[in-house]
Amino acid sequence: MVIVGIDLTLIFLSDFEFAFSVAKAAVKSKIPDVHMKYALYLEDEGKFEEAESEFIKANRPKEAVLMHIHKQDWEAAQRVAELHCPDNLPDVLAGQVCANYEWRHECKVIWVHCFFF
């Protein structure tokens, strides 16, 4: 019942403060889910630095990397990848290269090289 209450609070009211307090008091396993939903909300609001922090608290740093890649903030994407999910660093570097090339064919060749070598 408490889990349903947390989910409904987030879906209909976006009352993250209340959702965090309920999760902390009753269902600690839901805390990462609340962080994730809050991160998505902040991203939609254009509050990218705050969203990044919430993605990391949700144990979903790759989502922060993807957010930064989507807005082509390569420095932030690389920083998050290096600190929290180094396996995603080749994706960041390849994306940055692709963004700087006019020809997508060359980009694909470079990405394959970065990924496999």
- Domains: count for the chain: 2
Task: Output 69 or 108, whichever has higher pLDDT.
Answer: 69
Torsion angle, alpha carbons of 30, 32, 37, 38, to 10: 120
| Per-residue model confidence as pLDDT tens digits over 23-60 | 888 888 889 999 999 999 999 999 999 999 999 999 99
Same domain, 11 and 55: yes
pLDDT at 115: 55
Q: Give the number of C-alpha atoms closer than 13 A to the C-alpha of residue 86, restricted to the C-beta side.
A: 2
Same domain, 33 and 67: no
Q: Which of 12, 32, 59 is the last residue of a domain?
A: 59
pLDDT at 58: 97
Measure the CA–CA gap between 64 and 47, rounded to whole angstroms.
Answer: 12
Does residue 75 carry a pLDDT above 90? yes
Same domain, 70 and 47: no
Same domain, 22 and 76: no
The residue range of the domain holding 74 is: 61-117
- Asked whether the beta carbons of 70 and 58 are under 8 A apart, the reply is no
pLDDT at 17: 84
